[in-house]
Amino acid sequence: LTEVAKVAPGIARSIVKELRDQRSNLKLIASENYCSLATQLAMGNLLTDKYAEGFPEHRFYAGCDNVDDIESYAAEQAKQLFGADHAYVQPHSGADANLIAYWAILSARVKTPALGETDPSKLSREDWNKLRHELGNQRLLGMDYYSGGHLTHGYRQNVSAQMFDAYSYGVNRETGLLDYEAIEALAREIKPLILLAGYSAYPRPINFRRFREIADKVGAVFMVDMAHFAGLVAGGVFSGDFNPVAHAHVVTTTTHKTLRGPRGGLVLCCAEFAEHVDKGCPLVIGGPLPQVMAAKAIAFTEANRPEFKDYARRIVQNAAALAQGCIDEGLTVATGGTDNHLLLINVHGLGLTGRQAESALRECGMTLNRNSLPFDPNGAWYTSGLRLGTPATTTLGMAEPEMREIAAIVKLVLTHTRPETIATGANAGKPSKAKYMVDPAAKAEAKAR
């Protein structure tokens, strides 16, 4: 850090402040964690100075022997961890991993009779445009953003909705759960090229065997984005019907959430898609990040150890305890609890938006994020929900008693927060959706606890 400070003292100060922030506020963001020091050190070094476009033993640059070793080792560890046929460890992020998976599936499955040529650069402009048209007409059926799906699953503000003719399935309005019969009916009607499962905010398990049956019935490729729960798969908590790797053709993930690795992405797939996935560079990305692949190698090795199974089990136990604690405190927990690492609290009944609740809790030392709920009247910006997760607090060694205490503090803060009244304009006199006031005594007590 001294070296950093010599060049840009402000950056060194921000790093130290971030360290303080992450140590002094309770990290309840469901998609965050604390990776190990070994992972961090593998990421922050001279490996960043190496270009290695291509894949192991097939590079566009000289001198890639060490990066070959790193990438091959990381891929082997990932295959072992998840029991996958093939692993591609280059994606810089979960969004990249999804783009690579989409294009790999399109490349493998979309072939027009006129286009026998497999090398796109050899196509005439006319044939290339025919192919682009064909690719753009393919259908994607993924989970609706408001039901917990991710932006990259065909949300209109994301490029995935421009690449595909995108459709979505949602949760049942009454139960808040996925309805497999309804999904099957929709899939039969739409006949997507890709049926996609996976979420950012859904607190219950998904039956991937059932999804695969649906995909097979309609001739779709079954893809799962396990970005959020990869650690629970690696740790054996999600097994059998609930293990996506056993049932999907292609699985993508981030490496930094429950999996507790560096910020990055990963694609796993069966043999049919391996060659196409390996073309992620140059299909989507340029040079991979050797330092991040080294850090992934460390994190996958850590996750292959027996202790990780215990960690994954405790994440889920803690989330269940936190959900029960919130219910006991009188808070409204979506679907009545959780079976994974996250839970959703509905704050609408407290007269708050998710945005106000998020900010009030942050003022009181708890970092979590607002989240829209299914059929949310407050939309994606203000929202009516909060998403809480236990991967990071579990890494810190917290257990059920701490979860109950967290639930009590969340309740204390939320019930002592009021929206401010809008002073002027067309909405004068109405409660603000953004501004709020936390009772100072409750704030002091929350911070002290």
Active site members: 51, 53, 225, 254, 257, 263
- List the one residue from 32, 184, 225, 376 that touches ligand PLP (CB under 6 A): 225
- List the one residue from 29, 31, 235, 296 that touches ligand PLP (CB under 6 A): 31
CA distance 363 to 356: 11
CA distance 263 to 92: 8
Q: Is the dihedral of CA 208, 338, 184, 149 positive or negative?
A: negative
Nearest distance from residue 148's CB to ligand PLP, in Å?
9
Binding segment for ligand PLP (CB under 6 A), chosen from 7-15, 223-231, 316-324, 426-434, is 223-231
Residues numbered 195-214 forming contacts with ligand PLP, rule: CB under 6 A: 198-200
CA distance 443 to 98: 41
Beta bridge partner(s), residue 19? none
Of residues 93 and 372, the one with the C-beta less far from ligand PLP: 93
| Contact of 194 with 221, CB cutoff 8 Å | yes
Of residues 150 and 411, the one with the C-beta less far from ligand PLP: 150
Across 297-334, b (16+ Cβ under 10 Å) vs e yields bbbbbbbeeeebeebbebbbbbbbbbbbbbbebebbbb
287 marked as binding residue:
no
Cα distances (Å, whole numbers) of residue 4 to 21, 35, 145: 19, 21, 40
CA-closest candidate to residue 365, choices 338, 384, 393: 393
Of residues 30 and 221, the one with the C-beta less far from ligand PLP: 30
90 in contact with ligand PLP (CB under 6 A): no
94 in contact with ligand PLP (CB under 6 A): yes
CA distance 449 to 444: 9
CA distance 350 to 346: 9
Cα distances (Å, whole numbers) of residue 211 to 208, 215, 301, 414: 5, 6, 30, 38
CA distance 303 to 297: 10
- List the one residue from 28, 47, 52, 95 that touches ligand PLP (CB under 6 A): 95
227 in contact with ligand PLP (CB under 6 A): yes
CA distance 341 to 315: 6
Element spanning 196, H or E: strand 194-198
| Contact of 288 with 60, CB cutoff 8 Å | no
Q: Is the dihedral of CA 226, 232, 236, 238 positive or negative?
A: negative
Residue 282 preceded by cis peptide, ω within 30: yes
In the stretch 251-290, what mask flags binding to ligand PLP with x, by CB under 6 A?
Answer: ---x----------x-------------------------
- List the one residue from 39, 77, 152, 168 that touches ligand PLP (CB under 6 A): 152
Of residues 93 and 395, the one with the C-beta less far from ligand PLP: 93
Nearest distance from residue 265's CB to ligand PLP, in Å?
6
Nearest distance from residue 33's CB to ligand PLP, in Å?
12
Instruction: Dig out the tokens for 363 from the structure.
Output: 């003022």
Nearest distance from residue 147's CB to ligand PLP, in Å?
12
In the stretch 351-390, what mask flags binding to ligand PLP with x, by CB under 6 A?
Answer: ----------------------------------------
151 marked as binding residue:
yes
Number of residues located near ligand PLP, criterion CB under 6 A: 15
| Contact of 204 with 171, CB cutoff 8 Å | no
User: Long-range contacts for 74-77 (Cβ within 8 Å, ≥24 apart)?
Assistant: 74/293, 74/294, 74/296, 74/297, 74/300, 77/297, 77/300, 77/301, 77/304
Of residues 31 and 378, the one with the C-beta less far from ligand PLP: 31
150 marked as binding residue:
yes
Of residues 244 and 265, the one with the C-beta less far from ligand PLP: 265
In the stretch 179-198, what mask flags binding to ligand PLP with x, by CB under 6 A?
Answer: -------------------x
CA distance 330 to 333: 9
Of residues 96 and 302, the one with the C-beta less far from ligand PLP: 96
Nearest distance from residue 92's CB to ligand PLP, in Å?
8
CA distance 446 to 448: 5
In the stretch 410-449, what mask flags binding to ligand PLP with x, by CB under 6 A?
Answer: ----------------------------------------
- List the one residue from 27, 86, 228, 314 that touches ligand PLP (CB under 6 A): 228
Nearest distance from residue 31's CB to ligand PLP, in Å?
5
Of residues 200 and 378, the one with the C-beta less far from ligand PLP: 200
Binding site for ligand PLP (CB under 6 A): 31, 93-95, 98, 150, 152, 198-200, 225, 227-228, 254, 265
- Extract the annotated binding site for (6S)-5,6,7,8-tetrahydrofolate: 149-151
- Extract the annotated binding site: 149-151
